[in-house]
Amino acid sequence: MAHWRSSFEAQPRLFILALIFSIVASGGTAAAALDDMGDDDEESGDATEEGDAEATEGESPDGETPEAEAQPAADPGKGLGEAAWDRDALQFEVGARGRLMVVPKFLINAFGVEGADTLVVGGIGGEAGLAQGPFEGLLGVWYAGYNTAQMPFKGPTDPPEGWEMIKSNLGMLYITADVMFRVKIATDWHLYVGGGVGVGIVTGTLQRNETYWNVAPGTPGPYDPYTQLALCPLPVGYGTTECPGPVNGDNRYDLVSNPQTSSSVWPVYPWLTYQMGVRYQPVKNIIARLDLGAGSSGFWLGLAVDYGI
């Protein structure tokens, strides 16, 4: 009886110990489960970070793609269409030119003659050439008319009685070559300097007429050839110093006899000039130039419009 009671009293102790071990074991299992969950979360976080890294790989910090970064930004200094063509590449040009030339009186007198007047001459024609980098070369074929009103004219060694009245119906067919070098001064604009050479083929007629001083006998000189000269009539009955006859190569009466008669002229005339100007090219196919020049034919102002190929 006593033994049974002792066993009965010991059972609760064993039950309590078993319960404690069960709780401890359960806690260990829960802790292990929690540790496993933590490891899974860390692995999931690592996978998420790797996925984000892969998703953002190739993107810049501001979200742009490398392709967008690699593309050059638009340059506000470039003109319309400049991004689509190389301004320094070889380019052919063809177009039209016009030139307004001024032949001053002092330049005519520089050839050893007296009299004459300042001439204003217009010319027009075509041109073609090429440009590459800072270089530009042009060939031009153009015509200029040298028509004038009557004006007094005399050789430097002729006596005062040797004055003539001349009238020009001449023209000049120019064949010229221009070589220029340019530098950029603003968007689409270039400044250039250069020179030109060529020849002018003379056409038309030059009329001459002998003159006399239309003043009263005994009027003291010197006389003004621009206001006091008169045309000699046809040399019929004339044998004076001022109006000699007969008609020959030195004593002409074209203005009062036959306007189609022409005195001899040079067949060709040289063209030598220095020039500078501005060049405007907003797009590949449009080229415009404004020229200023000085040379053997005086001073000139030019305008050209070309098509770039």
Residue 77 lies in a domain: no
Domain enclosing residue 213, as ranges: 88-308
Residue 44 lies in a domain: no
Residue 12 lies in a domain: no
Residue 211 lies in a domain: yes
Residue 63 lies in a domain: no
Confidence of residue 242 (pLDDT cuts 50, 70, 90): confident
The confidence score (pLDDT) of residue 222 equals 86
Amino acid in position 118 = T
Cβ pair 76, 87 in contact under 8 A = no
Look at residue 69 and give its three-state secondary structure.
helix
What is the total count of domains within the chain?
1
- Alpha carbons 45 and 51: distance in angstroms, whole number: 10
CATH code at position 122: 2.40.160.20
The confidence score (pLDDT) of residue 127 equals 97
Q: Looking up tokens 């001439």, which residue turns up? A: 119
Report pLDDT digits (tens) over 245-296: 766 666 788 888 777 777 778 899 999 999 999 999 999 999 999 999 999 8
Residue 210 lies in a domain: yes
Q: Looking up tokens 């806690």, which residue turns up? A: 27
- Alpha carbons 231 and 272: distance in angstroms, whole number: 36
- pTM reported for the whole predicted model: 0.69
Residue 291 lies in a domain: yes
How many Å separate Cα 221 from the centre of its chain? 55
Amino acid in position 94 = V
Residue 7 lies in a domain: no
Confidence of residue 201 (pLDDT cuts 50, 70, 90): very high
